[in-house]
Amino acid sequence: MGNNFNLVGLTIDDLKTLFGQVLKTELEAVKKHLQPKQPNEYLTRKEVSEMLKIDLSSVHNWSKRGILKPHQIGNRVYFKMNEVENAIVKLKSN
């Protein structure tokens, strides 16, 4: 029975402080695991071309070659900002 402990001699304030410290520690641990993920930011073809300072036809060609990954939502084509940035980093390192 190693989980038994004696509360005799603790004041109510001591008990509140003890529980407060335990709760704070546990809540901090839970908070770290529940951090919201950063939402994806989607760019249009035009926004990608302006961002990269390339022609719209180059955006199309890069998509066909697999450099950029298009995401179709309905009848529209979008690109994830982080994927565009990663593609540029890959191009610069080659």
- Whole-model pTM above 0.75? no
Question: What are the tens digits of pLDDT across the range 35-66?
Answer: 667 788 999 999 999 999 999 999 999 999 99
> Is residue 85 domain-resident?
yes
Say if residues 62 and 55 touch (Cβ distance below 8 Å): no
CA–CA separation, 1 and 19 (whole Å): 21
Q: What is the pLDDT of residue 67?
A: 93
Mean pLDDT computed over 61-81? 94
> Is residue 84 domain-resident?
yes
The per-residue pLDDT of the chain, averaged, comes to 87
> Is residue 89 domain-resident?
yes
> Is residue 2 domain-resident?
no
The tally of domains found in the chain comes to 1
Q: How confident is the model at residue 1 (pLDDT cuts 50, 70, 90)?
A: very low
CA–CA separation, 32 and 26 (whole Å): 10
CA–CA separation, 83 and 69 (whole Å): 7
